[in-house]
Structures are given as C-alpha cells and as structure tokens.
Amino acid sequence: MSPATDAPVRARFEAVWRELAVIGDGGAAGYHRFAWTAVDLELREWFAGQAALRGMPCERDRNGNLWAWWGTPGPGAVVTGSHLDSVPGGGAYDGPLGVVSAFLAVDLLRERGVTPSRPIAVVDFADEEGARFGVACVGSRLLTGVLDPGDARALRDADGITLAEAMSAAGADPGAIGRDDEALSRIGAFVELHIEQGRGLVDLGAPVGVAAAIWPHGRWRCTFHGEADHAGTTRLADRRDPMQPFASTVLAARDVAGHLGALATFGKVHVTPNGTNAIPSRVDAWLDARAPDEATVHETVSAITRAAEKAAAGHGVRVEVHPESYTPLVEFGVPLRDRLAATLGGAPVLPTGAGHDAGILSSHAPTAMLFVRNPTGTSHSPAEHAGTGDCVTGVTALADVLEDLTRT
C-alpha cells in the first residue's frame, strides 16, 4: 500500500489509538488495566462505543467477553480481535493493537465495498493476562471449558477478592460462567492480530508475519516456609530464612533454562511479613516456564524444583511447588496459516513464546495469528512499541485476510 492510499487509515488509526491510550495509562509506570476494575469497565465502554459508532450490535457473553457484530450473530462467523487488559506496568500494544486493528479492518472492508458472505465479529477477550487473579486467558479458557467455573470463581487477587466478587461488583454474573457452546458454535474461524513480542520480524525485515506455533508454557507457585525472627538478634546459624533458598532457586532457574534451551522467570514474589528488619516466615514466588516442546518445559520445572528442595533443605526451610496453569504446545493449523501467508504475498511464518487467546481457541476452531513488527522486541513493559506505519500495514493485512475468509 502506498503512503498516499494509506493516509485515511493512518488518520483513523491515530484518532482511535489516542482515545484508547489514555485509559489506564500510568505514564512511565506503564499501563495497569486489570480485569473487572474501574479501568476495565472504562475499556469495555470504549469497546461498546466503537461498536456503536459502526452500527455493530455489541454483546457480553456469559464469560465476560465482548463481541461486536457486522452481520447477524450466528454460526460460521469470522472472528477477529484480542484483549484490552494488561500486565502490571504493561505497554500500550499487547492486546489493544488487535482490537483497534479489528475495528479499523471493518472500516476498510466497508470502504472497499465488501459484502461479507458470513458475519464478522470483533472480540475483546476478558482477562487475557491473568494479572489480577493469576490465571491467564480466563475469558477464552472459560468459553472453551478448559477452566472449571468453580475454580475460576474462587481465584483471589492480592487483596483477597475472589473473581466471583469482582465480577459481581462490576455488574456481571459469576454464576453464569463456564463453557459456552452457543458462543463457540458461532466461531467459524478466529484471527488474532498482535504486536510481536520479540525480534523475529525485525530480524527478517518484515512488517507483518503469521504465527506458526505458541510454545507450551505454564505458571508454578513456589512457597518457601521458614521462621520469622529478628534481623538484629538472630544468629545466622539459627535462622530458617526462606529468602535464602528462594534466591538460590532464582539463580538455579537461569542455569537450568540455559542448559535446556528453555525460559524460566520469577517475576512475582510475596514476602511475609515483608518487613525490613524481620527474617521472613514465608516467600511465595511464581515461576513462569516456557520451551519449544512440552518435555523440555516439564524437565525445566522438575530441575528447578529439585534445586529449590536442595537449597531449602540446607536452610531448614520447607518448599512446595504447585502448578497454577498450563498451556500445551499450540501448532496453528497449516491450511489457514498458509492461506494467510499467501494472501499477504508470502509473509514470514514464525513461532512465539507468548501466550494468546488464539492458542486457547485453536483446539475449537480454525485459528491463526498475525504479528506486527516491534522495533525493539520489548513487551510487557512501557517501552513496548510499534511504528504507526507498521500498525497501518497490520490493519490492511487483517482486512485482506478477512476479505479473503469471508469471500465464500
């Protein structure tokens, strides 16, 4: 697309992006857009507003996901979109780029005079990041039945508020959550556009790519039980300090991951009682582990668990490691993936280590993803960025793909 012809898309992109960007923006501290908070409700209002502007009826399904329809809601729809929530201190693009691009692709198709042969839906999946309740992709996991509704209702945030309480306070019915066959039956195909969260496209010199696979990944809670005591009076030899084996475990995780070709991250820690002058009684830390194949993920977690147990024993500390969520390897279906790549004139096809709702949906409907180049490869950080030119190319690519998929 030439700069002259993409000017209207660029202007629309900038206008919509500006409006969305202010919601939940913490400036240098990044975005804090957590599920079922006041900020989330503002994001949902923004979504409904965008749908209304386009005359697209908007509905919230039983699991809190939002759907805006071009055409009569029904089976076989081509669905596109992503999520609007963020990690703590997140960037502007992870999630929202897919939702904004979806609305703008609808605009572009209408401008082209396209009459889709099947309905098109724009979706905003609830709580993709799991930043508040610890489990990622809650909306799509509930929709597809891979998350038990009772377990979901009982999830607690850092203040002890359950997901059920948070949903009720936000005007949603937690009693209605769970596998939704009617909503699922409407999805003929799902295409999620997302900012790339690494440097694959930068290295390839391509603005847009197609996803091949999502690495298997999961979250494990590691709890180190020690004994609280006085920082100034307790001899080193008498301490049962859980921080010590935790620190060793962090270092061991890096070594293990390096040896096995995996990724292992401790990004969240709760220290009890969390006082400068108190030896902690307990450290809870969350391990995020990912690898190209499932055996390597499990081997990584087993080796880190063994290292934690050994370190804990050396300090008179007890450690427990519990799985909290797990997503198996996702290999996107080759026919749809290749169709997208061909529609885009031979776009590169590449894997990712990041999780997405598309991964959850892939076992229920033909599913594919488009990635938009991220110049620094940084994500889950306020530094996350995509150039406006590449975002516009992404919108056009998504419109091309939707046009192709709704032609017959």
Three-class secondary structure of residue 285 per DSSP: strand
Closest CA to 257 of 283, 222, 292, 212: 292
Separation CA 290–CA 297 (nearest Å): 6
Site for Mn ion in 327-366 (CB under 5 A): 355
Binder of residue 95, out of ligand GLV, Mn ion, none (CB less than 5 to 8 A by kind)? Mn ion
Which residue of this chain has its Cβ atom nearest to ligand GLV in the complex?
355
CB nearer Mn ion, residue 315 or residue 380: 380
Binder of residue 245, out of Mn ion, ligand GLV, none (CB less than 5 to 8 A by kind)? none
| Number of residues engaging Mn ion in binding (CB under 5 A) | 3
For 51, the token pair is 């749908």
CB of 339 to ligand GLV, least distance (A): 25
Binder of residue 58, out of ligand GLV, Mn ion, none (CB less than 5 to 8 A by kind)? none
Three-class secondary structure of residue 168 per DSSP: helix
Q: For residue 144, how many C-alpha atoms fall within 13 Å in the half-sphere facing its CB?
A: 17
279 within 8 A of 241, measured Cβ to Cβ: yes
Cis peptide before 116 (omega within 30 of 0): no
215 within 8 A of 326, measured Cβ to Cβ: no
CB of 40 to ligand GLV, least distance (A): 17
Closest CA to 107 of 235, 11, 251, 198: 11
94 within 8 A of 381, measured Cβ to Cβ: no
CB nearer ligand GLV, residue 129 or residue 390: 129
Separation CA 382–CA 89 (nearest Å): 6
Helix 334-343 and helix 388-405, axial crossing angle in degrees, nearest 10: 120
Binder of residue 226, out of ligand GLV, Mn ion, none (CB less than 5 to 8 A by kind)? none
What phi and psi values does residue 328 have, to the nearest 5 degrees? -65, 175
What number of other Cβ atoms are within 10 A of residue 324's Cβ? 15
CB of 91 to ligand GLV, least distance (A): 11
- β-pair partners for 79: 121, 190
CB of 292 to ligand GLV, least distance (A): 15
CB of 155 to ligand GLV, least distance (A): 16
Binder of residue 91, out of ligand GLV, Mn ion, none (CB less than 5 to 8 A by kind)? none
Residue the block writes with tokens 């042969």: 117
CB nearer Mn ion, residue 252 or residue 368: 368
Binder of residue 174, out of ligand GLV, Mn ion, none (CB less than 5 to 8 A by kind)? none
Which residue of this chain has its Cβ atom nearest to Mn ion in the complex?
94
- By DSSP bridging, strand 77-83 and strand 318-327 are unpaired
Binder of residue 134, out of Mn ion, ligand GLV, none (CB less than 5 to 8 A by kind)? none
- By DSSP bridging, strand 77-83 and strand 187-195 are parallel
For 113, the token pair is 């005079």
CB nearer ligand GLV, residue 82 or residue 396: 82
Our finding on whether 207 is near Mn ion (CB under 5 A) is no
CB nearer ligand GLV, residue 34 or residue 70: 34
- Site mask for Mn ion (CB under 5 A), range 76-105, x = bound: ------------------xx----------
Residue the block writes with tokens 């999502």: 214
What number of other Cβ atoms are within 10 A of residue 254's Cβ? 14
CB of 137 to Mn ion, least distance (A): 7
Our finding on whether 188 is near Mn ion (CB under 5 A) is no
Per CB under 6 A, residues contacting ligand GLV are 129, 136, 354-355
List Cβ neighbours of 377 (8 Å cut-off, separation of 6 or more): 196, 197, 198, 199, 202
CB nearer Mn ion, residue 240 or residue 356: 356
CB of 154 to ligand GLV, least distance (A): 22
CB of 277 to Mn ion, least distance (A): 37
CB nearer ligand GLV, residue 73 or residue 292: 292
CB of 221 to Mn ion, least distance (A): 19
Our finding on whether 400 is near Mn ion (CB under 5 A) is no
- By DSSP bridging, strand 367-372 and strand 187-195 are parallel
CB nearer Mn ion, residue 208 or residue 303: 208
For 26, the token pair is 């913490």
CB nearer ligand GLV, residue 209 or residue 355: 355
Rg of the chain, C-alpha, whole Å: 22
CB of 95 to ligand GLV, least distance (A): 8
Interacting residues with Mn ion (CB under 5 A): 94-95, 355
